[in-house]
Amino acid sequence: MFDSDALFELEPPAADSVSFADLARRPLNELVAPDWAEALAPVEPQLREVLAFLDGEVAAGHEVLPSPSNMLRAFRQPLAGVRVLIVGQDPYPTPGHAVGLSFAVDGATRPIPRSLANMYKELQTDLGFPPRVHGDLSRWAEQGVLLLNRVLSVRAGAAGSHRNKGWEAVTAAAIRAVADRVSADSAGPAPLVVILWGKDAESVRPLLGSAAVISSAHPSPLSASRGFFGSRPFSRTNAMLQEQGNGTVDWELPPLP
C-alpha cells in the first residue's frame, strides 16, 4: 500500500511573499522534492529560462496563473511515490482557478470547471461516489496520483498562451522520469498507470515506454460524450494497480475540502 507519510513536506510560501524571479534564483532542491530535483537536473536550465519568462510576463503587466507558490506544486509529491499519472494540458485561465495540479481548482471555487464536473459524473458511474461541489483533488495527490499539466502556466484569460515557452521540455523530462523509475527491490519498472485524456495527452505516449496506459476522449464538454463517458478510468486504474501489486487508489473525495 502507498505510505502517505512518505510525502515530501514542503509547505508553499504565501502567494504574496514569493515572485517568479525568486523561484528562478532558488536551488532546485528548495523548489521540488529531493528526488524530483535529481530527475529534473538535466532540464534545470530550461526551467530557469521559463521562470524568467514568467517574471517578464508579470513585469509587462500580465497576470500569470497559477501563483508562484503553486507553480511547481505537482513536484512537491515525491517521484518515488507516484503510482498514477494523469496528464493535463495547461492550467485553467480563469483567475483563482489554477492551483498547480491538473484538473484541480481551489476548494472554494464555485462552480467547478465543466471538465472536472464531467470527471465526477464518470466517477459516480464507475465507482458510485457522489459528485462533489469542490475541486480540491489533493486527496488524490496524497495517494500518489501525479496531476501534471503538460504546460504549467498560462496568462490569465488566454488559454494556451504559454505553450512553446519551455515547459514542454521540463514536463517531458518529468514524464520520462516517472515512466523510467526502477523500484529498489526489482529490476523492472515501478508500478504505474498513466491516464491520457484527449489528443494533447496522447502526444506523450512515446515517453511512456512499457507503462500501463488508459486513454480516452477528454472530459471537456466538447468531447466527453465521444468516449470519455463510460470509459471507467478509475476502476480500470485500480484493477491495473492491483495486478502490479500496488494496492488501489481511494478515489472518493471528502464532501468539503
Q: What is the pLDDT of residues 139-159, one digit of tens each?
A: 999 999 999 999 999 999 999
CA distance 217 to 224: 6
Closest CA to 142 of 5, 1, 243, 44: 5
- pTM (predicted TM-score): 0.92
Written as nine digits, the cell of 16 is: 504574496
90 given a catalytic annotation: yes
What pLDDT, in 10s, does the model give residues 60-112? 999 999 999 999 999 999 999 999 999 999 999 999 999 999 999 999 999 99
Buried b (16+ CB within 10 A) or exposed e, 111-148: ebbebbbbbbebbeebeeeeebebbbbbbbbebbbbbb
CA distance 118 to 226: 12
Peptide bond just before 191 cis, omega within 30 deg: no
Range in 130-134, 165-169, 184-188 the model is least confident about: 184-188
Write down the pLDDT at residue 13.
39
Decide which of 3.30.70.890, 3.90.45.10, 3.40.470.10, 3.40.50.300 is the CATH code for 77-243. 3.40.470.10
Catalytic residue among 35, 90, 126, 200: 90
Buried b (16+ CB within 10 A) or exposed e, 70-104: bbbbbbbbbbbbbbbbbbbbbbbbeeebbbbbbbb
| Averaged pLDDT, 167-175 | 98
Phi, psi of 85 (to 5 degrees): -115, 120
User: Is the confidence at residue 28, as pLDDT, over 90?
Assistant: yes
Buried b (16+ CB within 10 A) or exposed e, 8-45: bebebeeeeebbbeebbeeebeebbbebbbebbeebee
| Averaged pLDDT, 221-241 | 98
Write down the pLDDT at residue 187.
56
